[in-house]
Amino acid sequence: MKERGRIKKATSKHRRLPIVAIDGPAGSGKSTVAKLTARRLKFQYLDTGAMYRSATLISMETGISPDEPERLAQEIQTHSFQFDFRTDTYRVELDGRDITEAIRSPELTQLIGPVCEIPQVRQFMGELQRQLGEGGGVVLEGRDIGTVIFPDAEVKIFLTASAEVRARRRWLEQKAKGMELDFQKVFEDLIQRDQRDMNRDNAPLKPAADAIIIDTGGMSIEEVVEQVITIVKSKKEVN
């Protein structure tokens, strides 16, 4: 299923399927877990991080720095975003152009933090996320889904792991793509990202008060997915 920009609100009179909010720091496994959970449950999957990465790409390509927050936020709102939930690879288009690979570059990753911290950008992206997910039957992953975007989500999961475990996952992931990066540099960058995410004034990274916290450090991806699915299926609306 493809969704483009803003969508109409759900009008069904039937009780909708749950919204599953999966939050956590970088490298906690939330993207993989969310994608596999959505596939197993036949839910939609929304990678909110890809949305902020798309905004960062706009900053890079237009030359509008996060130091000009209002100008950048206005520019971002002039563009069209499209997300493809159907394929194994989460496809993202900007104004009809496939940017799936472009938004995953190490260079962009270094710049995403300041863009994410702009209140106007977060407000715009948050509204779009709510419109895409409000119908239910969706798995969203990010850093503030259960606390800000969908505080009333039926299922709230917070995935975590030690910084070393998460950095090693990132390093191995990048190495598999042919990127020869220094592990210590990956580790230091992750620590810096954690600090920015947890200490920002707007929507800091933290588990929702009623979130179920899962430490993925000693678990396989399949074990984490099974645990999340068990939690989701405990809701009587899910078969």
pLDDT band at 236 (very low <50, low <70, confident <90, very high): low
Q: Which of residues 2 and 155 earns the better pLDDT score?
A: 155
For residue 127, pLDDT beyond 80: yes
Strands of the 19-23 sheet, one edge to the other: 44-47, 138-142, 19-23, 155-160, 212-215
The pTM assigned to this predicted structure is 0.83
238 is a domain residue = no
If you average pLDDT over residues 201-227, what whole number do you get?
A: 93
In which band, very low, low, confident or very high, does the pLDDT at 239 lie, cut at 50, 70 and 90?
low
Domain tally, the chain: 1
CATH number at residue 30: 3.40.50.300
Buried b (16+ CB within 10 A) or exposed e, 100-127: eebbeeeebbebbbbbbbbebbbebbbe
Q: Quick check: is 90 in a domain?
A: yes
* DSSP states along 29-89: SHHHHHHHHHHHHT-EEEEHHHHHHHHHHHHHHHT--TTSHHHHHHHHTTS-EEEE-SSSS
Q: How many CB atoms lie within 10 A of CB 182?
A: 9
The per-residue pLDDT for range 29-39, each reduced to its tens digit, is: 998 999 999 99
Output the pLDDT for position 109: 87
Query: Does 12 fall in a domain?
Result: no
Q: Is residue 239 part of a domain?
A: no
Task: Confirm whether 94 is domain-assigned.
Answer: yes
d(CA 50, CA 38): 16
Q: Read off the pLDDT of residues 178-211 as tens digits, 9 standing for 90 and up.
A: 888 889 999 998 999 899 889 888 888 999 999 9
What residue numbers bound the domain in which 161 lies?
A: 2-6+17-233
Q: In this predicted structure, what is the pLDDT of residue 10?
A: 37
In a domain, 224, yes or no: yes
Average pLDDT for 159-175: 92
Query: 87: pLDDT confidence band, cut at 50, 70 and 90?
Result: low
In percent, the amount of the chain with pLDDT more than 70 equals 90
Closest CA to 1 of 43, 35, 41: 43
- Mean pLDDT of the residues in the chain: 88
Cα 129 versus chain centre, distance: 10
Q: What's residue 118's pLDDT?
A: 93
pLDDT 10s digits, 6-43: 333 333 444 579 999 999 998 999 989 999 999 999 99
DSSP string, the chain: -EEESS-PPP--SSPPPPEEEEE--TTSSHHHHHHHHHHHHT-EEEEHHHHHHHHHHHHHHHT--TTSHHHHHHHHTTS-EEEE-SSSS-EEEETTEE-TTGGG-HHHHHHHHHHHT-HHHHHHHHHHHHHHHTTSSEEEEESSIIIII-TT-SEEEEEE--HHHHHHHHHHHHHHTT----HHHHHHHHHHHHHHHHH-SSS-S---TTPEEEE-TTS-HHHHHHHHHHHHHTSTT--
Residue 2 has pLDDT above 60, yes or no: no
Measured between alpha carbons, how far is 26 from 192 in angstroms, rounded to an integer?
11
Least confident of 7-21, 119-133, 170-184: 7-21
The more confidently predicted of residues 14 and 85 is 85
Model pLDDT, residue 25: 94
- pLDDT of 177 above 90: no
